[in-house]
Amino acid sequence: MLIIEDLQTQKKSWISTRHGLHPSWRAKPGLIVMKFGEQLRTSVISEYQWYYVDYDDLKEQLKKASGPPVGDDSASGPSQPSKNKNKQKAPEQEWTENDEARFLQRLDEELEKVYNKTQVKTSEIQRRIMWEEKEVDSLVKRMHDRGPNEQGPAEEEFVAREEFISDIIADVHDLAKFVQINYTAFYKIIKKHDKMTGWYLKPVWETRLKSKPFYREDYDRDVVKLSKMYDNVRTRGNPVKGDSSAGGSQASFVRQTTKYWVHPDNVTELKLIILKHLPVLVFNAKKEFEQADSAITSIYYDNPEKWDLYEGRLKKTEGAEAIRLRWYGGMQNDQIFVERKTHREDWTGEQSVKARFNVKEKNVNSYMRGDLLPAALFEKARKEGKKQEKQIAEEERLAQEVQYSVLKKGYKPVCRSFYNRTAFQLPADARVRISLDTELSMVREDNLDGVARAGKNWRRTDIGIDWPFSQLPAKDIVRFPYAVLEVKLQTQHGQEPPEWVRELIASHLVEAVPKFSKFIHGCASLFPDRIKLLPYWMPQMDVDIRKPASKDFGIRRPNHSSASGSTSDADDDDDYDSDDEEAGHNGARGDHTNGESSTRDQAVAAAVADLEDQTAGHATADADYPLYDSEDEESDLDDALEESRRVGGWTYYSALGKKYARAAGQGTWTVLKTIVPHPQGTTVPVSNRQQMFFGDQVVSTKKVKAPKGKRIYVPVRVEPKVYFAAERTFLGWLEFSIYIGTIAVTLLNFGTKPSLVSFIVAGVFTLLAILALCYSVAIYLYRSGAIRERKAAKFYDKWGPSVLCVSLFIAVGLNFLFEGREREMW
């Protein structure tokens, strides 16, 4: 474990500079991090324990330079590693060609070992799946072909088959974890080599890695097959039947949707967990699965001068629209869907609507320019009579409204989103639908900067579904670092979602991001010079969302304990890397699997963002996640004091003074809290909305600062009753001010001849009444403006009522004192 403190600046934090010289993320004080060598050892799966990369030996090889001694200047370098034991140590001797050849040979041996094991295990899994398919088909056939008086397969046979399939699922999970951790190990050791030796090995090594691409194994077909088999066995040969056609009756379902981010390390495990409860939704069961079946591409429109649609969707204003053109599969698909999504507030009693119609690709340009009228689009459909006249009329009206909006408001293509989707759902049953979008990328479609990306066409044609689109320049594409999970529930009022869904969204595999939008994120990322209002999740993009594994949650082998094991030795101190390289490879492989699925090429350096060099250490089951919270800093302070003692001088005396000052302050505060009576807060139960988004996770808040010239928009829920509540509060203050004014008038006119005392007291009450009136007007104007503009304002009044009550108490007390003195009672 490693606690980091800069003893020169007295700042205890870890700064990541992976995106350049400016820190992209600063960890909280007291952050506990685990070095990769330790993470590798604690991630060992017993079956693969002899086939992992020998990371420690490769590090030792880097220290065995055989050249002449390096001078003091070159050894110390600009980073002055001798000042901090956690900095990367430079070799004391020069790195020679012989050293490089020796290291490359050792590296090739490790690559060969990992590649061979991966190939052998993959072949074994494929054979087991093929065998299990035959067994399941035979079992189901016996179930269906039995005669009226014949005994069907015993329940034990189905249970046995279910256990066999679960064991295969666990094998796929373990293999994915093995591949991911080894890929990360190779990436990190190459990075360490380049930094320590000054020899740039990364391009050469990527070529060698492509010759033995153990990380490119595609589990899509396996997952589809496993899902089908498991569903057959689980339902005892009677899987749910129904309409699974894309864009069919499913579009009419009204669902409650929540969104989550999934780290690439967890994608395969998440899919394998879900398929045990829901089958992969395959739209054409008769067709063999192909990678292109999972691809979904959308072109979003907006006014590039005003960004009306962007701001409307970001602020979730009533009636906010999104217009997009979508197609499924490759560029050769001739069927294009024109969609319009309309947001409706809950208080209206209406549901948000997504409506669409399809058009031939050859007609899209003429339709969007206004040359082809909607009536002509549906002329053929009317003649063929395949659709009802009512449906055709609705689609034609939608086409007219979309065309009018595009022409009148100047909407143009601005952003494309591409992803591969895995959907899990029982056919014709919309109660629970889960989709996982991987390889998510946003691409510019505009011509705003003078670059003719699409020209006069409605979409650019230099890319298709060939993720990661390495042919595009960096300014034209944003590759999203996470997968996006959507959980869509259709439950009756008051009905709880299934228990397994609640466990899933509360697990370590997902990070809740309510109201996340691909369109909003794409525009905010691709047009930084034009977009000034950012979504609330943008500051979270540089924070590692991984968490310690949840207790008793994940893939388990039937009737076996966890397959994971660990060896122990502590890692040496020089394993710590400062993350100062440019954004590059993701250390973890972006897994994907699917029924609407994904594709990848993790060897392309520009494809995904670099992982943080340090990963969060595993905590105990009941411990807080150290990446987000670390309150107990006593041991950290002791370590820092001991380190500063070795440095000596002012650094030591400053750290010693801080320690005693902190101890004195904490002691004083504890005594004050014990002596001074104070109100105790009431525990507020978790709301249903928070439970839906975050499950049982503890929700923490933190303040973020927007970049210069930009603002971060936080979603604010505004209903008509909010306006009425603000008015009622204002009227309450107004009524109270009138009462105080009445008291002042009564005191001023009390008796036949008002005295000086009654005049002064009446003046105090009059002043209070005027101040209360002014304050209530100011608060009402502030709140009304915040409600109209949907600002994340604090609507509770912390000081107003308290100050007014104290002032009123003082006024009454002064009146009592002056009146008693006037009557010579004291």
Active site residues: 518
- Residue 16 CA to residue 106 CA, distance in Å, equals 31
Distance between CA atoms of residues 259 and 254, nearest Å:
16
Residue 280, token pair as written in the block: 């992969």
Q: Report the distance separating Cα 248 and Cα 250, nearest Å.
A: 5
Q: How many H-runs (helices) and E-runs (strands) does the chain carry?
A: 21, 16
- Sheet strands (E) in 175-274: 256-262
Three-state DSSP class for residue 257: strand
Joined tokens for residue 30: 């007291």
Q: Is 596 left (phi over 0), alpha (psi -120 to 50) or beta?
A: beta
Read off the amino acid at residue 484.
V
Partners of 302 in the beta sheet?
A: 412
Burial of 687 (0-12, 13-18, 19+ CB in 10 A): exposed
Sign, CA dihedral 405-406-407-408, equals positive
Query: Rounded to an integer, what distance in angstroms lies between the CA atom of residue 139 and that of residue 119?
Result: 30
DSSP annotation of 215: G
Strands (E), 390-541: 412-425, 432-444, 477-479, 483-489, 511-512, 533-535
> Which residues have a Cβ under 8 Å from the Cβ of 287 and sit 6 or more positions away?
293
d(CA 671, CA 660): 17
DSSP three-state, residue 547: coil
Q: What count of Cα atoms within 13 Å lies in the side-chain half-sphere of residue 1?
A: 11
Q: Are strands 432-444 and 256-262 parallel, antiparallel or unpaired?
A: unpaired
| Spatial CA neighbour of 632 closest among 619, 645, 643 | 619
| Nearest partner of 704 among 541, 550, 821, judged by Cα | 541
Q: Is the peptide bond before 264 cis (omega within 30 degrees of 0)?
A: no
Q: Which of 327, 216, 337, 232 is nearest to 280 (CA)?
A: 232
List of residues 6+ apart from 509 with CB closer than 8 A = 262, 266, 269, 270, 273, 550
In angstroms, rounded to a whole number, what is the distance separating the alpha carbons of residues 719 and 794?
16
Neighbours of 708 (CB within 10 A): 5
Token pair listed for 423: 């959907």
Alpha helices in 695-755 (DSSP H): 720-748
> Taking the C-alpha atoms of 765, 767, 769 and 770 in order, what is their torsion angle to the nearest 10 degrees?
170
CA nearest neighbour of 574 among 150, 27, 55 = 55
Q: Which residues contact 523 (CB under 8 A, 6 or more apart)?
A: 300, 302, 307, 310, 414, 415, 531
Q: In Å, how far are 281, 372, 617, 772 from 775, measured between CA atoms?
A: 59, 60, 51, 5
DSSP symbol at 19: T
Please tell me what DSSP assigns to residue 607: S
Helix H segments across 146-154? none
DSSP string, 785-813: HHHHTT-----S-SSHHHHHHHHHHHHHH
Segment (H or E) for 2 = none
Going by C-alpha positions, the residue among 475, 549, 487 that lies closest to residue 512 is 487
